[in-house]
Structure 1
Amino acid sequence: MTKRAVFPGSFDPITLGHVDIIKRALPLFDEIIIAIGVNAQKKYMFSLEERKHFIETAFNEYESVQVKTYTGLTADFCKAENAQFILRGLRNTADFTYEQTIAQANAKVMDVESLFLLASPAVSYISSSIVRDIARNGGDYSALVPFSI
């Protein structure tokens, strides 16, 4: 059986923190699907096409990584993709507290296990919201993302 994980997020934009988690997870799974969640209620800084392009560019040399988009529940997307695992990165205890309840519900209701990797100290401070704030204010965020715009 292929060990397939889904790494979900809005990736607005993808950061070096995301890249760190994905690259460290590559040896654990046969395939990783980077799943860009689409929420019509949310206002994104980067378009869906831009976010998908940024991720595909960052991982173009990795055959075991796919990039897909989805709407609805992440666990439903996992079932549709025959993924047994949801991969998540944790930067701090607040991330753990938030993710724990969701993971327990997904395991109970949808039979999808969540695996957590701790962010490497060198990138644990990076978040998409920090990158967006720097970008909105004209700052240089190039050291926080795997691409240049």
Structure 2
Amino acid sequence: MTPTIFVLNGPNLNALGKREPGIYGGTTLADIEAECRSVGQTLGFAIDFRQSNHEGVLVDWLHEAGESAVGVAINPGAYGHTSIAMHDAIRAISIPVVEVHISNIHAREEFRHTSMITAAAKGMISGFGPHSYILALHALKNIMQ
């Protein structure tokens, strides 16, 4: 059975390609999903790709990943800056989690400079556009070797 990596996406990421293209570019979430699936296959992983605008759903998916996946790449969106619940969910699972951000959160508004997720995750990849997801998949592969 092929090991699975969950790629989880938080609020407003379903609007990629339309939302603030000057910050996030024109790539859609479907484009990112297709690239993640392709790279995941190359790396030997199945990709379970999901998006929700609801914090509790993301927490539930983290718990699910802890039971059925070997790793998680998560773009928490704005919840990264506010969600202690997601921080706690990451700490509650034993698989590696890599935080992903399309934009460089440290080059943006000050309230985005702090992440509630980073301290619970293995690491954060930020500022490389949609390629941040691909870097996260490679990081997870490296962590597992």
TM-score normalized by structure 1?
0.38
Question: Which of structures 1 and 2 has the larger relative contact order (alpha carbons within 8 angstroms, sep 6+)?
Answer: 1
Q: Computing the radius of gyration over CA atoms, which structure comes out larger, 1 or 2?
A: 1
Structure (1/2) with the larger helix percentage: 2
TM-score (norm 2): 0.39
